[in-house]
Amino acid sequence: MNQRNKLKIINDPIYGFITIPSALIFDLIEHPYFQRLRRITQMGLSHLVYPGANHTRFHHALGCLHLMKKSIDILKSKGVDITEEEEESVQIAILLHDIGHGPFSHALEHSIVSDISHEYLSLEFMNKLNSEFDGQLTLAIDIFRGNHHKKFLCQLISSQLDIDRLDYLKRDSFYTGVAEGNINSERLINMLNVVDDELVVEEKGIYSIEKFLVARRLMYWQVYLHKTSLCAEQILIRLLRRAKFVFEISQVKIENSTLNFFLRNKIDSENFDDSTLELFSKLDDYDIISAVKVWQYHDDFVLSKLSQMILNRDLLKVKLKNEPVDPKKLEEYLKKASKHFNISESDAEFFVFEGSTSNLAYQPDKEHINIWYKNGKIKDVSSASDQLNLKALSKAVVKYYICHPKSNN
Amino acid sequence: MNQRNKLKIINDPIYGFITIPSALIFDLIEHPYFQRLRRITQMGLSHLVYPGANHTRFHHALGCLHLMKKSIDILKSKGVDITEEEEESVQIAILLHDIGHGPFSHALEHSIVSDISHEYLSLEFMNKLNSEFDGQLTLAIDIFRGNHHKKFLCQLISSQLDIDRLDYLKRDSFYTGVAEGNINSERLINMLNVVDDELVVEEKGIYSIEKFLVARRLMYWQVYLHKTSLCAEQILIRLLRRAKFVFEISQVKIENSTLNFFLRNKIDSENFDDSTLELFSKLDDYDIISAVKVWQYHDDFVLSKLSQMILNRDLLKVKLKNEPVDPKKLEEYLKKASKHFNISESDAEFFVFEGSTSNLAYQPDKEHINIWYKNGKIKDVSSASDQLNLKALSKAVVKYYICHPKSNN
Amino acid sequence: MNQRNKLKIINDPIYGFITIPSALIFDLIEHPYFQRLRRITQMGLSHLVYPGANHTRFHHALGCLHLMKKSIDILKSKGVDITEEEEESVQIAILLHDIGHGPFSHALEHSIVSDISHEYLSLEFMNKLNSEFDGQLTLAIDIFRGNHHKKFLCQLISSQLDIDRLDYLKRDSFYTGVAEGNINSERLINMLNVVDDELVVEEKGIYSIEKFLVARRLMYWQVYLHKTSLCAEQILIRLLRRAKFVFEISQVKIENSTLNFFLRNKIDSENFDDSTLELFSKLDDYDIISAVKVWQYHDDFVLSKLSQMILNRDLLKVKLKNEPVDPKKLEEYLKKASKHFNISESDAEFFVFEGSTSNLAYQPDKEHINIWYKNGKIKDVSSASDQLNLKALSKAVVKYYICHPKSNN
Amino acid sequence: MNQRNKLKIINDPIYGFITIPSALIFDLIEHPYFQRLRRITQMGLSHLVYPGANHTRFHHALGCLHLMKKSIDILKSKGVDITEEEEESVQIAILLHDIGHGPFSHALEHSIVSDISHEYLSLEFMNKLNSEFDGQLTLAIDIFRGNHHKKFLCQLISSQLDIDRLDYLKRDSFYTGVAEGNINSERLINMLNVVDDELVVEEKGIYSIEKFLVARRLMYWQVYLHKTSLCAEQILIRLLRRAKFVFEISQVKIENSTLNFFLRNKIDSENFDDSTLELFSKLDDYDIISAVKVWQYHDDFVLSKLSQMILNRDLLKVKLKNEPVDPKKLEEYLKKASKHFNISESDAEFFVFEGSTSNLAYQPDKEHINIWYKNGKIKDVSSASDQLNLKALSKAVVKYYICHPKSNN
């Protein structure tokens, strides 16, 4: 295939067209590691609440690529020095930033593997690809790891105003139909600039930043932490935990050999080697859901019941409150569930449980969002102006949930 | 014309279609008083900054009619008791709520008439129409004046979450292209309910309300109080003031007899009678702009220069700051302008001036936005939850501007 | 659960909100038969070309429900007599019209079952649900089968301007990002009326109909029959055929017992009974894809190679032409592939094949689209006016394709 | 002002942001000739039917600038040779292509001036600007006149697929809310290429071209030639004709001296000199509408009645038919109107008249739209493929209208 054929254009409902900017990036997209992302949804089980939310990590990664190109163009037009190699590398870094995600990633990060973050796994994939591609990813990896001296390139990959967020908030808002979560990524990118190798936002962008943070919080409470999604996710976690337990006892092999490997073995960063990476690269949402489809008929009541709940969207009842759950209430529900399902109280814990979730729209202790004033000063956005309510956005909010069977009132 | 022909559908770029719900409303729209609103722009001189912002008060009024219909449908579906007469009347009230606006209304409220609000004038127009339409507007007027016992109907017309705002924020955001100002009117309306005859917002709507208030503030600072629009508006005010002054001295009649009447006479609520209303109903943006077009050639330097500034969008330089303007700076600019234009210092004040502008996203002392909790409690939104930053939105922000000729540095 | 809780609102990126109109419809949506549609994509493998196209039949069915409600409201407002029972039934009929779709339905209609249309299967599901719901679906089934005396209700379910098309064209255009395929469903619905119990389009809608038919054709050639999707679909068909062949010989059971049943047995309308329906109701896209994931490692070269092609989107080369493929060319490619892969020529036929596809924007021999003129006359749209080019749209277009391995030039 | 300040960004509701690409273009936009376009609406009186259609020629010209930049970028990325000077010049040419439009241009082309096209006037303006800007517009003028040897640059300015059409169809569809008229300008531009210095459309764009032509025709019949707009326009023409007649007799000067000049003198290309251009550059919609506002009280019945019709949108009754109007019918209406208004029959001709209008979606005798096939052949789109219905789009359609007073049945 000649070089020209690799300069493809891909339709995107959000940005119109996404252009693949180089042959190397084209080849990375074609790689089975990246194609796998077609089978991992961006929002896990959120489609149970927002039926439009079936978009994939594959699509999100392409969206990031597009916004990164825009950002680089804007910065260059403002006189920021970016070499051609840096331009390609920062695009590769954002394209691959999520390549380490496993199936239902956030939910299953502690079932499939133990204490291995998807960032760690992304790096593993990038290193593997780097050797396949003769070291052409070295600079991209440096940028991804935050080691490049032009810090703003690293900040475009990971910070509180990184390209990842600019795409996923817009994309998730679009596909869920929660229009209030929509952010104006194009305008935010237009406001970017670089001072002393650090990313800054020009003064006139201050209201857009506030709007972005408010939209982000709205998306958290209305979508990402929606009580029904949260409940479904917790059920899935317990379902996998139960499956591990059941198969340990029974010694019966489960059908899918790859999934079998990850359920049977405790994989952590110590024993995660090349062959584990290869196996991990075969896993996706389809392995989980098709296992769940088999398990709905399993002899183990807990496993089959939890499986049916996910498949038929016949979930637990869930309440979300500002105060912690009263332990007596929990105890009471446990007893009822145990009786209702005729199971032990410890098994009932798979159907009755509580927990907490929290969200912080802006983290002042992390990588700041810096505002660049016309007079040359730079300030953290949360202290930028007393007229703004960004301080309030820097306060964590905790909510508490309790789940129990519907018939279990 | 038969009744059926009056049930027209009007295309709207925002809502798709607007349906005219009754023959009486059709006839009100056909009336010259209402047709006049086709010639009054919604956003005055904002099109000098946002070239798409040429929409009219006519279109805004139709948009309000549409949203009111939706609101009434939602409330009725939730079991709120609204009679057919009330339904038509609240629609008439919102349709006519802005009918009293004069040309460049906010800017010229004190040039064309003295201390008469557009609300007062809207009421005058409604009373006049009420006699023409044999008293069919009586209930609409009651609602408009806030006198109807079902207070929520009055609140739909005027409150901090009234239909007026739900349409104008959406419409102005749409036509200016300032996408971050977009609000989800449909969702907000879906959250409305009525408790004890008062309008409330259901609990799940709390983030949408916050988003609405943040969008509103963004629109204020980015659009309504944009320094260039603000400057153009101030120039127009001074231009009219100068015209009054020039024509008082010269005794030469200006060409447009209606405009002549309002420039020559001080009209206030005392002497505003039926014949004044009739004259006022003839005024629109075209009278002002065509006068300005004539005045660009006037012998009076100040009048002609200000006129050219508006027509050629060759405005003054303007700065917007958080601190009041230093009087010395002002004095300095005045001297320079006086010298530059070879005019007296008092004439120079038409080109060099300062002032302040302020904005308050939420006014806790006014008609509250009330949140209705699932437990039955009702709270003002600003105290609804400490996790929200609405308190900050209840603090007025003042900004100070100074304008002076461009060459006048 | 009380009735009120069943009047849910669902977010939709296209229509904003979809309201579930009745408790019966709510219960049908909750049924596992309907929930299964969450796991069947609307567009099969089109997401390999248009990465946004991951929407499901579940979502499409809800969209249809929404448009049906709008249509009924419009017709009622025009004085068409529709009883409450008819209103609910026609909504049920459209909600369930696609419930019989299997995984990758059009592609696999002849692999999973033999000569059983999805319409037949939809009817089977409806009959089953009708007994579960004590006969409440009887009228809906009558309408679905075209047996109701108010023919326009049947035409809303199935005709050349049915609600199905109004939703899927809009939805597929939206999710693929092929903006030219967008149709104005709302306007088309506004133009509907009923004369002598038949659905007609009012005269002023004639250009919108033309636009609809042109958009439909564009979607066919640009999306539904896109050469890459078409190729992927043909690969999937051959893959299943090969799987049947392999498992017949080997007598080894495949892992998924439900899929196993349908691959091992020839199911046609003769032997399709209640237990088959139950098994069929368990099948979805996940069964196919997870089987393909296992088969990528199968010892059979053809099966594993075809599986890898689908999973890694490493498809065959495909050409689409206006003329039939030259048999000599096909023979040549077969020989090359046989040599290249070191397989028999009959096995090479799984990688080298040709076929044809055709499309007809308007079928004048089917259920007409009728235009209702102001003078009372009714004409078929294709003869409505010589100024329109609808005659051309009534001519079938055939295209011919050939697929062969990439390295096989 | 330094160069950097001239690189402004302008908000556009359609494209998001429009960037002004050079200091020269910035200065041209700032020129009073160009600023005048802010006061000339793009669609004349169409806002009487579509209340959103208040956009101006100023905004359209900026939109064209934006699309031209995109087109040049695409062509350059495909290897087409375009120098920097050509890039700026073709952008200037499209920016100024409509600068010669007078108020209500198409309607009043024969009232304000005689047989002078707006293209001629645009050229006059450009020549004047060229001397002001020291010859920097010479190449732009060459391109505008079709004289540049790289013919594709001229075709981007004027042809059946020029940038003008790509913006105005999209913009007019957007502001009227007639969503079916929307075209995918971005995709069409992506399909452009150059062969032998001529603009061509790549083969895969053939359906998009068809869609574009169908959308264009729909916009003609549904919007541009909407019977009510058409009627309003005809009233305005007759109103100006009557004004000329009245002021010739009365010898009373009308108030607006510029308008007075054009109404009193017959200006044609013979006597159109620099001073006429200067006067013409002062005219805009405001002169016409404010004169009409004065004339609504004029003693001449015909003049005042026609003026009131426009201002109060109380127009004539209009019918649009496929056959010519029967002269007897016209005669009959004339008699009735004469009697009804108590005026002479020749005066009644101002209220009772007929005419015809026609539209041709594609003109095969004009500058072709050429399709470039992968095999290297180039064909005119109308003969591109027998499967397309473009032949039908090449047939002119004529419609006939008759207008008469409403009460005149």
Q: How far apart are CA B395 and CA D181, in angstroms?
A: 46
Name the residue with higher pLDDT: C139 or C265.
C139
Name the residue with higher pLDDT: D111 or C51.
C51
Side chain identity at residue C269, one-letter code = S
Q: How far apart are CA C389 and CA B95, in angstroms?
A: 43
Answer whether residue D314 shows pLDDT above 90: yes
Residue D326: partners with Cβ closer than 8 Å, 6 or more residues away: none
D280 assigned to some structural domain: no
Say how many CB pairs under 8 Å bridge A and C.
Answer: 104
Q: With residue D129 as reference, give the H or E element that holds it.
A: helix D118-132
D388 assigned to some structural domain: no
Residue A275: partners with Cβ closer than 8 Å, 6 or more residues away: none
Determine whether the interchain pair D187/C207 forms a contact, defined as Cβ–Cβ distance below 8 Å.
no
**pTM listed for this prediction:** 0.87
Task: Note the pLDDT tens digit of each residue in B339-378.
Answer: 999 999 999 999 999 999 988 778 877 778 999 988 889 9
Determine whether the interchain pair D210/C218 forms a contact, defined as Cβ–Cβ distance below 8 Å.
yes
> Interface of chain A against chain C, CB under 8 Å?
10-14, 16, 30, 32, 35, 38-39, 41, 47-48, 50-52, 54-56, 58-59, 62, 174-179, 255-256, 282, 286-287, 289-290, 293-294, 311-314
Q: How far apart are CA C139 and CA A349, in angstroms?
A: 45
Q: How far apart are CA A282 and CA B216, in angstroms?
A: 48
Residue B334: partners with Cβ closer than 8 Å, 6 or more residues away: B345, B348, B349, B352
> At D134, is the secondary structure helix, strand, or coil?
coil
Answer whether residue C82 shows pLDDT above 80: yes
Q: How far apart are CA A297 and CA A291, in angstroms?
A: 11
Answer whether residue C192 shows pLDDT above 80: yes
Nearest to A12 by CA among A224, A158, A167: A167
- DSSP label at residue D221: I
Nearest to B304 by CA among B353, B403, B235: B235
Angle at B359 between CA B355 and CA B360, to 5 degrees: 150
For residue D215, give the CATH number of its domain: 1.10.3210.10
Q: What pLDDT was estimated at residue D1?
A: 35
D404 assigned to some structural domain: no
Answer whether residue C392 shows pLDDT above 80: no
- Shortest distance between the Cα of D322 and any Cα of chain B, in A, equals 23
Work out the number of other CB atoms within 10 angstroms of the CB of residue B326: 12
Phi, psi of B368 (to 5 degrees): -70, 160
Cβ distance B96 to B126 under 8 Å? yes
Cβ distance D110 to D95 under 8 Å? no
The residue segments making up the domain with residue A187 are: 3-226+371-397
> At A148, is the secondary structure helix, strand, or coil?
coil
Phi, psi of B308 (to 5 degrees): -60, -40
The mean pLDDT of chain C is 90
Q: What pLDDT was estimated at residue D252?
A: 64
Q: What pLDDT was estimated at residue C2?
A: 41
Q: What pLDDT was estimated at residue A211?
A: 85
Q: What pLDDT was estimated at residue C388?
A: 60
Task: Note the pLDDT tens digit of each residue in B283-294.
Answer: 999 999 999 999
Q: What pLDDT was estimated at residue D92?
A: 98
- Shortest distance between the Cα of A286 and any Cα of chain B, in A, equals 34
- Subunits next to B (3 or more Cβ pairs <8 Å) are A, C, D
Work out the number of other CB atoms within 10 angstroms of the CB of residue A275: 9
Q: What pLDDT was estimated at residue C46?
A: 95
User: Of B68-72, C236-240, C265-269, which range is least confident?
Assistant: C265-269
> Interface of chain A against chain D, CB under 8 Å?
9, 16-17, 186-187, 190
Determine whether the interchain pair A11/C39 forms a contact, defined as Cβ–Cβ distance below 8 Å.
no
Nearest to B16 among C9, C17, C186 (CB): C186
Three-state DSSP string of chain B: CCHHHHCCEEEECCCEEEECCCHHHHHHHHCHHHHHHHHCECCHHHHHCCCCCCCEHHHHHHHHHHHHHHHHHHHHHCCCCCCHHHHHHHHHHHHCCCCCCCCCHHHHCCCCCCCCCHHHHHHHHHHHHHHHCCCCCHHHHHHHCCCCCCHHHHHHHCCCCCHHHHHHHHHHHHHHCCHHHCCCHHHHHHCEEEECCEEEEEHHHHHHHHHHHHHHHHHHHHHHCCHHHHHHHHHHHHHHHHHHHHHHHHCCCCCCHHHHHHHHCCCCCCCCCHHHHHHHCCCCHHHHHHHHHHHCCCCCHHHHHHHHHHHCCCCCEEEEECCCCCHHHHHHHHHHHHHHHCCCHHHHCCCCEEEEEEECCCCCCCCCCEEECCCCCEEEHHHCCCCCCHHHHCCCEEEEEEEECCCCC
β-sheet with D353-359: strand ranges across: D317-321, D397-404, D353-359
Nearest to B17 among C9, C16, C186 (CB): C186
Determine whether the interchain pair B38/D58 forms a contact, defined as Cβ–Cβ distance below 8 Å.
no
Q: What pLDDT was estimated at residue B401?
A: 96
- Shortest distance between the Cα of C379 and any Cα of chain A, in A, equals 38
What's the structural domain count of chain C?
Answer: 1
Q: How far apart are CA B143 and CA B123, in angstroms?
A: 11
C235 assigned to some structural domain: no
Task: Note the pLDDT tens digit of each residue in D100-140.
Answer: 999 987 778 777 888 788 889 999 999 999 999 999 999 99
Q: What pLDDT was estimated at residue B270?
A: 86
DSSP string, A338-395: HHHHT--HHHHTTTSEEEEEEE-S--TTSSPPEEE-TTS-EEEGGGS-TTS-HHHHTS
- Long-range contacts, A30-34 (Cβ 8 Å, 24+): A30/C313, A30/C314, A31/A129, A31/A132, A32/A281, A32/C311, A32/C312, A33/A99, A33/A125, A33/A128, A33/A129, A33/A281, A34/A58, A34/A61, A34/A95, A34/A96, A34/A99
Q: How far apart are CA B46 and CA B49, in angstroms?
A: 6
A310 assigned to some structural domain: no
Tokens of A319: 């309440």
C302 assigned to some structural domain: no
Mutation target among C188, C207, C228, C400 for the D interface, most CBs of D within 10 A: C207
Tokens of D53: 């259609």
Mutation target among B47, B54, B281 for the D interface, most CBs of D within 10 A: B54
Q: What pLDDT was estimated at residue A4?
A: 44
Angle at C304 between CA C298 and CA C310, to 5 degrees: 135
Q: Which residues of C touch B9 (CB under 8 A)?
A: 190
Task: Note the pLDDT tens digit of each residue in A119-176.
Answer: 899 999 999 999 999 999 999 999 999 999 999 999 999 999 999 999 999 999 999 9
Name the residue with higher pLDDT: A293 or B360.
A293
Task: Note the pLDDT tens digit of each residue in B226-263.
Answer: 999 999 999 999 999 999 889 877 766 666 788 888 88
Helices marked H in A31-117 = 32-35, 57-77, 84-95, 105-108
Determine whether the interchain pair B186/C17 forms a contact, defined as Cβ–Cβ distance below 8 Å.
yes
Answer whether residue B4 shows pLDDT above 80: no
Task: Note the pLDDT tens digit of each residue in D46-65.
Answer: 999 999 999 999 999 999 99
Nearest to B51 among D50, D62, D314 (CB): D62
- Give the ipTM: 0.92
Answer whether residue B390 shows pLDDT above 70: no
Q: What pLDDT was estimated at residue C395?
A: 77
Answer whether residue D32 shows pLDDT above 90: yes
- Shortest distance between the Cα of D221 and any Cα of chain C, in A, equals 8
Nearest to A285 by CA among A256, A242, A261, A326: A256
Q: What pLDDT was estimated at residue B386?
A: 54
Answer whether residue B200 shows pLDDT above 90: yes
Q: What pLDDT was estimated at residue C6?
A: 56
- Shortest distance between the Cα of C320 and any Cα of chain D, in A, equals 12
Cβ distance B310 to B242 under 8 Å? no
Q: How far apart are CA D89 and CA D65, in angstroms?
A: 11
Q: What pLDDT was estimated at residue B366?
A: 77
Q: Give the pairing of strands A370-372 and A198-202.
A: parallel
Answer whether residue D171 shows pLDDT above 80: yes
Determine whether the interchain pair A9/D190 forms a contact, defined as Cβ–Cβ distance below 8 Å.
yes
- Shortest distance between the Cα of B146 and any Cα of chain D, in A, equals 30
Tally of CA atoms within 13 A in the half-sphere of B366 that contains its CB: 12
Determine whether the interchain pair C312/A32 forms a contact, defined as Cβ–Cβ distance below 8 Å.
yes
Nearest to D186 among A16, A186, A187 (CB): A16
- Shortest distance between the Cα of D169 and any Cα of chain A, in A, equals 18
Nearest to A189 by CA among A75, A82, A59: A75
A190 assigned to some structural domain: yes
- Subunits next to D (3 or more Cβ pairs <8 Å) are A, B, C
Answer whether residue B119 shows pLDDT above 60: yes
Q: Which residues of D touch C210 (CB under 8 A)?
A: 214, 218
Determine whether the interchain pair D208/C221 forms a contact, defined as Cβ–Cβ distance below 8 Å.
no
The mean pLDDT of chain D is 90
Q: Which residues of D touch C389 (CB under 8 A)?
A: 389-393
A66 assigned to some structural domain: yes
Q: Which residues of D touch B62 (CB under 8 A)?
A: 51
Answer whether residue B6 shows pLDDT above 60: no
Residue D373: partners with Cβ closer than 8 Å, 6 or more residues away: D203, D379
- Average of per-residue pLDDT across D238-246: 92
